[in-house]
Amino acid sequence: MTPLSHSSCMIANWITPSSDYGEVCPVFRKTFSLPSQEEVMKATLKITSLGLYEAYLNGNRVGDFIFAPGWTSYDTRLQMQEYDVTSFLKGENELQVTLGKGWCAGNLVWEGHQNIWTDRLALIAELQIALKDGTFLSIITDRDWESAKSPIQYSELYHGETYDSNVVPSDWSPVSLYPRDKSCIIPQEGEIVREMQRLKPVALLKTPRGETVLDFGQNMTGYVEFSVHGPKGHQVTVRHAEVLDKDGNFYTDNLRKAKQKITFICNGKRQTYKPHFSFQGFRYICLGHWPEQVDLNRFSAVVVHSDMRRTGRFECSSPLLNKLYSNIVWGQRGNFLDVPTDCPQRDERLGWTGDAEVFVRAASYNYDVNRFFTKWLHDLKTDQFEDGGVPAVIPDAMKDGGGASSSAWGDAAVICPWQLYLSYGNTQILKDQFDSMKKWIAYIRAQGEDEYLWNTGHHFGDWLGMDANPGDYVGSTDKGLIATAYYAYSTSLLIKAGKVLGVDMSEYEVLYQNVVKAFQKTYLPEGLPTSNTQTAHVLALYFQLCREEDRERIVQNLVKLIHENGDRLTTGFVGTPYLLHALSQNGYAEVAYTLLLQEEFPSWLFSVKMGATTVWEHWDSLRPDGSMWSTDMNSFNHYAYGAVADWMYGVMAGIQPDETHPGYEHFFLCPVEDKRLRFVNASLETRWGTISSAWRRENGKTVYEFVVPDGCTATVKIGDICETVRGGRHLYRIG
């Protein structure tokens, strides 16, 4: 059942338990009578909460939204859902709603913040019933509701849940009204988070340490549903981990403070359970005190993420690249849980702007992320600081501005809306965000020692670059170079956005020219970047910041740096997303393919060869000898380096949007082949229909086959061919 979206105006009251239940999740109830089920014409439940809610009407779960009402910047934007519940009503009715802490009140951020947006769990709901005789009834949250302790004894997103199946809510007592503003309540804006898929365990392991471990074969985000039969009062535990260590033991050090632990208290009968307000990032689970023989059929891993429409498909003749592609898609599933997060497992799981910014293009090929990112960008706008700075995570769970407004991170304010415009022709998002985009540029403009340079302040730099000093997280590219490069790039996108909206952008055009000049003078004084790093070269090329006469020298030097490093990359979060593009746009697609096909560390395929099923945070999360890079910052499900999928779709298969006809009304088909592959097949569902692009080797020739949806046009660019084609199938044989 999909929530309807209507008016967000609520006449109901916020209610909260009148006594303190400690860690136990409260359940609220209201009973009411109706003439009969037949008399009900239509019934709608409007509901939201401070904390997460699960609503049941006469024992039926209302809707299938997991972790409702979702995660937004709750102070200003709290989504309300509307559900059609007509079929659930009877003569005598009971509406029950359980609340959990979730993001709003629970433990969030590695420093152990609590109650970031509220110190009370609270509910607001209205059940509107239209009877066939023309009467309207309204059941609203008010003093007539009651609350009690639920069987959920403890629930935290990071830490797991404790469920006592012996508890039946009793001692119902009247609730209190909670004086809290209702003006922040908005209709559902994002995608619905749902249970999307179920995986069965592929193996039962006994580790060297003697642990009983189940392997689901895939690192993922969600929770485990299990059935267990234990004596009344017996406690079982289920812990979650992404990897096993070198010796094959269950490994949880990389979770830092996140416990990811389920405790279930049996009641003497067979019970089936899954967590309510907690999710885990895991491939393996470790069972504790299991009271019966472990039967794999009694366990399912439930994959939970925002229900986005899958739009992109890619495959090629390299099984390793296909596995990398699969890992990237799994990374998106695991980290698009209402907010684009860095990782789903450790004590973080935050909407890091930089990660979202580097991945948004790949993400928008894989899935339709238009609605998903629209909601998040509206949160970015609302959380943006007065001076135009952008919090490092959105929703701003840090609140103290810690690490805020770093270049490449805050640039999400400009880069993400522009991507939605390119991929979906979404002009509205440019309108919605234009002020926020301008504020970000104004913020940058006020930072540097010079108006046209950004060489001050805190920056994450080329985060996790391989050219970092030992033990450091930050690659060695000059942070001022990176910041000024992004200053120019974001200004160029703002100018384009302004032009789409019909705004006079001449002031920004002058600004852009001056920033580029300042960049060239300061960071390319003699043509080559002052930082002799791959990332510096990539930015100068990809962001079009170099003088035309220096371009060839820069790209040749980049190629030299790559060769000198054994045909391997050194780039971090900033350089990696554009590395292959910078090469292929400048005549070195073959080198780009070499990097992509590289199997030695550091490379994308190294992780694949090491058995990865998602994309790692570090190139060396797991080292060739099986040891871990560190316990501190070592996620095995970080999508950032999965940004390379946009090169797979956009260059290997050559499907690229056209900014003058966004949303694929007109697009480019410009695949770049490589002798090391036999074929590439990709497709993309757009609002015009499905585009497909494929090439294969046949009798010494390359055969290209394209499908252009009716109603739109594409420009085919392969070899010397450059022609515009209309809807239909198009075949080219070259060589």
In the complex, the residues that contact ligand BGC under the rule CB under 6 A are 342-343, 348, 352, 354-355, 460, 463, 633, 638
Q: Rounded distance, CA 37 to CA 42, Å?
A: 10
User: What backbone torsions phi and psi does residue 205 show, to the nearest 5 degrees?
Assistant: -120, 150
In angstroms, what is the minimal distance from the CB of 665 to ligand BGC?
A: 34
In angstroms, what is the minimal distance from the CB of 158 to ligand BGC?
A: 14
Write out the two tokens for 93. 């009715």
Q: What is the separation of C-alpha 297 from the centre of its chain, rounded to a whole number of angstroms?
A: 31
Tokens 């860690």 label which residue? 23
Cβ–Cβ under 8 Å, residues 238 and 286: yes
In angstroms, what is the minimal distance from the CB of 331 to ligand BGC?
A: 12
Nearer to ligand BGC, 464 or 648 (CB): 464
Phi-psi label, residue 407: left if phi above 0, alpha if psi -120 to 50, beta otherwise: beta
The DSSP bridge partners found for residue 474 are: 463
In angstroms, what is the minimal distance from the CB of 188 to ligand BGC?
A: 28
The DSSP bridge partners found for residue 281 are: 221
Apex CA 589: angle with CA 585 and CA 594, to 5°? 140
In angstroms, what is the minimal distance from the CB of 257 to ligand BGC?
A: 13
Handedness of CA 595, 600, 603, 607 (dihedral sign): positive
Q: How far is CA 667 from CA 359, 415, 424, 430, 702, in A?
A: 21, 20, 12, 20, 22
In angstroms, what is the minimal distance from the CB of 617 to ligand BGC?
A: 7
Instruction: Report whether the peptide linkage leading into residue 69 is cis, meaning its omega lies within 30 degrees of zero.
Output: yes
Tell me how many helices (H) and strands (E) the chain has: 14, 35
In angstroms, what is the minimal distance from the CB of 370 to ligand BGC?
A: 23
Handedness of CA 478, 483, 484, 489 (dihedral sign): positive
Strand, helix or coil for residue 479: helix
Cβ–Cβ under 8 Å, residues 529 and 554: yes
In angstroms, what is the minimal distance from the CB of 352 to ligand BGC?
A: 4
Cβ–Cβ under 8 Å, residues 52 and 100: yes
Alpha-carbon dihedral 558, 564, 568, 571, rounded to 10 degrees: -50
Strand, helix or coil for residue 226: strand
In angstroms, what is the minimal distance from the CB of 284 to ligand BGC?
A: 21
Q: Rounded distance, CA 683 to CA 518, Å?
A: 41
Instruction: Report whether the peptide linkage leading into residue 395 is cis, meaning its omega lies within 30 degrees of zero.
Output: yes
Instruction: Report whether the peptide linkage leading into residue 3 is cis, meaning its omega lies within 30 degrees of zero.
Output: no
Nearer to ligand BGC, 15 or 640 (CB): 640
Catalytic residue among 315, 617, 673, 685: 617
The DSSP bridge partners found for residue 47 are: 81, 125
Nearer to ligand BGC, 81 or 406 (CB): 406
Nearer to ligand BGC, 62 or 343 (CB): 343
Nearer to ligand BGC, 410 or 654 (CB): 410
DSSP E strand stretches across 85-211:
92-100, 122-131, 136-140, 146-149, 152-156, 160-164, 173-177, 185-187, 193-199, 203-206
Q: H-helix or E-strand containing 714?
A: strand 713-718
Nearer to ligand BGC, 253 or 723 (CB): 253
In angstroms, what is the minimal distance from the CB of 638 to ligand BGC?
A: 6
Phi-psi label, residue 299: left if phi above 0, alpha if psi -120 to 50, beta otherwise: beta
In angstroms, what is the minimal distance from the CB of 640 to ligand BGC?
A: 6
Nearer to ligand BGC, 242 or 348 (CB): 348
In angstroms, what is the minimal distance from the CB of 341 to ligand BGC?
A: 9
Q: Within the chain, what is the greatest distance between any pair of CA atoms?
A: 85
Cβ–Cβ under 8 Å, residues 716 and 706: yes
Tokens 């920056």 label which residue? 459
- Told to judge if 348 belongs to the known catalytic residues of this protein, a careful annotator would answer yes
| Residues 6 or more apart whose Cβ sits within 8 Å of residue 569 | 466, 534, 562, 575, 576, 579, 595, 598, 602, 603, 619
How many CB atoms are located within 10 Å of the residue 340 CB? Answer: 27
Q: Rounded distance, CA 134 to CA 144, Å?
A: 25
Write out the two tokens for 162. 């404790």
Write out the two tokens for 679. 């074929």
State the amino acid at position 405 in one-letter form: S
Write out the two tokens for 244. 């096993």
Nearer to ligand BGC, 629 or 732 (CB): 629
Catalytic residue among 315, 348, 673, 685: 348
- Told to judge if 617 belongs to the known catalytic residues of this protein, a careful annotator would answer yes
In angstroms, what is the minimal distance from the CB of 364 to ligand BGC?
A: 19
Cβ–Cβ under 8 Å, residues 652 and 645: no
Nearer to ligand BGC, 354 or 657 (CB): 354
Active-site residues, by number, are: 348, 617
